[in-house]
Structure 1
Amino acid sequence: MEKHVVVIYPHPDDESFGAAGTISKFRKEGVPVTYLCGTLGEMGRNMGSPIFANRETLPKLRKKELVEACKILDIDLRLLGYRDKTIEYEDKQEVARHIKGVLEEINPSLVITHYPNYAVHPDHNALGAATIEAVGMMDADTRPTVWAQAISHNFEKVLGEPDICIDMTDNFDEKMKAIVAHQSQASGIIKAFYGDTEESRDLKEAAIERLGKERFYIWDYPKSD
C-alpha cells in the first residue's frame, strides 16, 4: 500500500478530469493524497455565456472551485504559484528544485504527473518534465515512484500500452462530482450528464468511454552506477 500520493498537474480541474478515479481509489484505501496545483488557470478562455468572469475574477473563481473539488476528493491542496500558460517559459531546473523541496517535505511513495511531450498542453508537458526532473534529483534509494499520464491522441502508438490502468466505470459518478465542482469549466459536460434526453445519455456513455479509465506509465529512471 502507498504511504502518501502526490498529484502534480498545472491547472484546476486537471486533478478531476485526469485522476479523480485514481485519487478516490487511494483515499478509500486510507492513503493520504496531496494535490500540487501549478497555476490557477487564470488564462482560461471559458468566461461563460452569459459572461460570469473576467481576467481579474477568473482565478478567484477557479481557486474556489478547486478548493471545493479537493474537499469532494478528500485531499490536501497546495498551490505552486505559477502563472497559467507560462510554465514552459520558466527555468525547468528552478521549477524542479521547487517541486523537489515540497516532495521532500511531504515524503510521498508515489507521484502522479503528466508525461512530457504527450500531454497536449504546454503547461502539462512543462510541469510534467519539471516533476520528473525533481524526482530524478532525489536519492535513488528513497525517491518515490512516478506515474506519468499521457493524453495525446497517438501516445499508445509511440509509447505502447500503459503500465497502470484504473478502471472506474462502475464508480464514474464519483469522478463526476469532482468534475462538476469546476462549474466554470465543465458547464457543458454538466448539462450533458444531467439532462434527461437521449442525446445526454449518449453523451454520458461517450464520456464514460473517454474518461472512465485512467492510465499511467511508470517512469523508468536510469540505474545509477
Structure 2
Amino acid sequence: MEKHVVVIYPHPDDESFGAAGTITKFRKQGVSVTYLCGTLGEMGRNMGSPTFANRETLPEIRKEELINACKALDIDLRMLGYRDKTLEFEDRQTVAEHLKDILEEIEPSLVITHYPDYAVHPDHNALGAAAVEAVRHMDETKRPVVWAQAISNNFPDVLGKPDIVNDVRDIFDKKMAAISAHKSQANGVLGQFQQNPKNKAEILEGAKKALGKERFYIWDYDK
C-alpha cells in the first residue's frame, strides 16, 4: 500500500477529470493524498451560460470550486501560485526545485502528474516535465514512483499500452461529485443534466465511457 500520494497538475479540475477515481481508491485504502495545483485556471474561457464570471472574478470562483472538489475527494490541497497559461515560460529547473522542496517535505511514495509532450495543454506538459525533473533530482533512495498521465489522441501509438489502467466506473459517483464541484468548467455536462432530465442516465453512461478508466505510465528514470 502507498504511504502518501502527491498529485501534481496545473489547473483546478485536472485532478477531478483526470484522476478522481484513482484518488478515491487510494482514500478508500486510507492513503493520504495531497494535490499540488499549479494555477487557479484564471485564463479559462468558460464563463458560464448565462455568464456568471468575468476575467476579474473567475480566479476566486475557480479557487472556491477547487477547494470544494478537494473536500469532496477528502484530500489535502496546496496551491503553487503560478499563473495560468504561463507555466511553459517559467524556468523549468526553478519550478522543479520548488516541487522538489515540497516533495522532500511530504515524502510521498507515489507522484501522479501529466506525461510531458503527451498532455495536450502547454501547462500540462510544462508542469509534468517539472514534476519529473523534481523527482529525478531527489535522493534515489527516497524517490517516489511517478505515474505519468498522457491524454493526447496519439499517445497509445507512440507510448504503447499504459502500465496502469484503473477502472473507476464502480466509484464513478465520487468522480462525478468532484467534477461537479467545478461548476464553471463542468457547466456543459451539468446543463445537460438539468435541461434533459430524461436523459440523465444516458449522459451518465456517456461520461462513464469517456472518463471511467484512468491510465498512467510508470516513469522510467533509467532510460
Q: When the two structures are superposed, what TM-score results if normalisation uses the length of structure 2?
A: 0.97
Amino acid at match of 2:197: D
Amino acid at match of 2:62: R
Could you say which residue in structure 1 is the equivalent of 2:48? 48
Give the whole-Å Cα distance in 1 for the aligned partners of 2:192 and 2:35. 27
Could you say which residue in structure 1 is the equivalent of 2:16? 16
Could you say which residue in structure 2 is the equivalent of 1:110? 110
Return 5+ residue gaps in structure 1 as ranges. Answer: none
Give the whole-Å Cα distance in 2 for the aligned partners of 1:193 and 1:75. 27
Give the whole-Å Cα distance in 1 for the aligned partners of 2:121 and 2:158. 18
Could you say which residue in structure 2 is the equivalent of 1:167? 167
Give the whole-Å Cα distance in 2 for the aligned partners of 1:193 and 1:37. 28
**Residue 193 (structure 1) shift:** 4.4
Could you say which residue in structure 2 is the equivalent of 1:83? 83
**Identical pairs, percent:** 72
Between 84-93 and 45-54, the greater mean CA deviation after superposition:
45-54
Could you say which residue in structure 2 is the equivalent of 1:25? 25
Give per-residue Cα distances to partners, 1:172-214, cap 9 Å, x unaligned. Answer: 111000000000110111233464224x443322221110000
Give per-residue Cα distances to partners, 1:113-156, cap 9 Å, x unaligned. Answer: 00001000000000000000000000112100000000001100
Could you say which residue in structure 1 is the equivalent of 2:4? 4
Give the whole-Å Cα distance in 1 for the aligned partners of 2:69 and 2:29. 19
8 Å CA contact 1:69, 1:182 repeated in 2:
yes
Give the whole-Å Cα distance in 2 for the aligned partners of 1:185 and 1:108. 29
| SS at 2:197 equivalent | coil
Q: 1:161-200 maps to which residues of 2 (within 5 A)?
A: 161-193=161-193, 195-198=196-199, 200=200
Give per-residue Cα distances to partners, 1:15-60, cap 9 Å, x unaligned. Answer: 0000000000000000000000000000000111221111111000
Amino acid at match of 1:164: I
| SS at 2:42 equivalent | coil
Give per-residue Cα distances to partners, 1:50-86, cap 9 Å, x unaligned. Answer: 2111111100000000000000100000001100000
Amino acid at match of 2:104: E
| SS at 1:84 equivalent | coil
Return 5+ residue gaps in structure 2 as ranges. Answer: none
Between 102-111 and 169-178, the greater mean CA deviation after superposition:
169-178
Amino acid at match of 2:202: D
8 Å CA contact 2:115, 2:149 repeated in 1:
yes
| SS at 1:141 equivalent | helix
Give the whole-Å Cα distance in 1 for the aligned partners of 2:144 and 2:65. 29
Give the whole-Å Cα distance in 2 for the aligned partners of 1:183 and 1:216. 26
User: How big is the alpha-carbon RMSD for the aligned residues of Structure 1 and Structure 2?
Assistant: 1.2
